[in-house]
Amino acid sequence: MTTLREALRMDIREVVADPEWQALRESLVGTWKSQGPENAARLRAYVGDFKDPLRVRRVLNYLTGTGFRSGAIACPEAGTLREEVRAAYAWHRAGCS
């Protein structure tokens, strides 16, 4: 498994190269207004137990992207997940993995 340190050093194209991630991300486009809670649940299922630093980085990058920062995507469940992913990211960054 990739460590967070390795994941942080990877080019973003390598980070997002996972076909499962690409399919999930693509399926979320344009669906947040009508399926916000379901989308957050799908992201939660993808990140799983927060032990895979690459999955944590992917989901954190996604949930802190422009759509969420600008308020174009507003979903309380996604906000809750974002905070959980941030905590997992900090945990990995602290070397606890």
Q: Where are the domains of the chain?
A: 4-17+36-93
Q: What is the torsional sign of CA 46, 48, 52, 57?
A: positive
Average pLDDT over residues 62-84: 94
Average pLDDT over residues 63-76: 93
Q: Is the pLDDT of residue 97 over 60?
A: no
Quickly state the pLDDT bin for 89 (edges 50, 70, 90).
confident
| pLDDT at residue 17, rounded to an integer | 93
Q: What is the torsional sign of CA 74, 76, 81, 86?
A: positive
pTM of the model: 0.90
| pLDDT at residue 6, rounded to an integer | 86
Measured CA to CA, the distance from residue 73 to residue 3 in angstroms comes to 30
Residues 31-46 have pLDDT tens digits of 999 999 999 999 999 9
